[in-house]
Structures are given as C-alpha cells and as structure tokens.
Amino acid sequence: MNAFRQLLQSSGSQPPIGSWVSSASPIVAEAMGLAGFDWGVVDMEHSPMDIMQVVHLLQAVGNTKMVGVVRVPWNDAVMVKRVLDAGATTVLFPFVQNADDAKRAVAATRYPPAGIRGMSGMSRGARFGTVANYLKTADAGIGVIVQLETPQALARLEEIAAVEGIDALFIGPADLSASMGHVGQFTHPEVMRAMSDAARRCKAVGKPLGTVGGTPDVVTQYRAMGYDYLAVASDIGLLMQGATGALHALRMSGGETHVHSLHSGTRTETSETAVPMKRP
C-alpha cells in the first residue's frame, strides 16, 4: 500500500503532523525526519531543487519514519514521470482548479492504459529492476494529492474529490488568501471561513483534507476545523524562528545585549559599556 495512504488510515483521531522541506539539504531533511515528523513535503515548487537533489532528499528521508511527499513545480507529465522514476511514491500537485486538472494529474502517475506515465524498468522507483512485476503493480503504490488554492477551485471541491485516483485534497492558505484579496493575511476571517467550509464538505464526501500553518497555534485552529493531516512551517521557517528567537533573547532594543558569566550572573550591557576581549 502507498505509505501516505497508510499513514492517513492508521492515524486515528490524531492527524499526522508534517512540515515542508525547502532547504534542498539532505542533512536537514534527515534531521526533520528524525525530529519526529510523520510526513514531509519535498518542495520543488518554491525551492531550487532539481531531480538529483530530490533523489538525495528521498534517500535521506528514507532513513527516518517521515513519509516523503514530493510537490512538483506544476501539473506537468514530464516532471511527474521524472519524479516518480526518482523514487517518489506520493506526489502533491499545485494549483488544481477543476476535475480535468485532477484527471490529468492522476494520468501522469499511471502507466498505460490507465495513464500516460512513460515506462522504465531500471529506475530508482523500480529499485533498479529488482521489484517483481513493477510495471504492472506500480500504479497501486502511487499516491496523488491535489492542491486547491483559489475560490474557483473550492467551488469545484466535490467534483475534484470525485476523480478516481485522487487520494487526498490540500488547501494552500497563502495562495487562497491572495486569490481572495487578502494578500499575506493567511488567517483573515473570510479565509478561515472558507477553509472551515472546505473541511466540512470534504468530510461529507469522505475525502481526506490537509493544510499547512506557520505556527502551532494556527495549525491547532485547522485541527479544530477537522483537517485530516497537517503541516507546520518548513525547515527554513523553523530555522529562522529559532535563530531570530535566540538573537532576540540575547539582544535588547538600542543595541543592548544580555551577558552572563559565572561570577556576575546575567547583566545588560550596551556597546559603550561592554569590555573588549583581551587577545591572548
């Protein structure tokens, strides 16, 4: 069974928690998996990753329990073919607007006669020819997630969800908020109402729905709406939060800095009062 489908089915009442992997670093990807995330998006849409980097990140994630999902840059059959040959088993398609877009996404992940994926028996996806009957059995192991990012897409949610081969839907709050006229206001009340309504409608048709939030507080709100799988921030976002938080804790306004020593405890110094370090 596809690993992402299995994750959704086994999660029970606790939605799986993931994050975005945008740094293009295998080391960081492996660290994110070892941190305990259930799933992670290897993001080709908004990062400098090429196919070989995707291979390296999938290899790194494979050393952890984190289920890898590759977001392709666009709903493009050639790119999807290469990503699947590189070893991706679940693909996230951005900007799916209607059922035809969804059907095209599914077709790109399926071998003929069900789809248009080009055949290769010696790819990494086929474990270099060591998987018995791979060309006949591969379709069943591929997961497809489609991303809805506009009011027009949300209006067609039910018809998109009904497309055979779609495993889950995903709402992108950033692009949705922009397309609703609230650029940068990801939690604007109108956006949150639209996202809540999408969760209700997905529950009605029995299709899993996921999203991403920048902070745990926002993700908690999505969980309360009934989202089935959730992501928080990204590797770079979490790095920047930690880095800026550490700097803020050590720097005061006006150039003041917290200084701690065993002899005098913690004190506040300015650039004028700080004692320069002596050279040995």
CA 203 to CA 228: how far, in whole Å? Answer: 9
> How many CA atoms are closer than 13 Å to the CA of 75, on its beta-carbon side?
20
Catalytic site includes residue 248: no
Q: Give the chain's end-to-end CA distance (angstroms, integer).
A: 63
Are the C-beta atoms of 169 and 160 separated by less than 8 Å?
yes
Radius of gyration of the chain measured on its C-alpha atoms = 22
- Active-site hit among 46, 188, 248, 260: 46
CA 214 to CA 19: how far, in whole Å? Answer: 10
Alpha helices in the chain (DSSP H): 3-10, 26-35, 51-61, 77-85, 99-108, 134-137, 151-155, 157-161, 173-179, 189-205, 216-225, 235-250
> In this structure, what token pair is assigned to residue 26?
């295998």
Catalytic positions, please?
A: 46
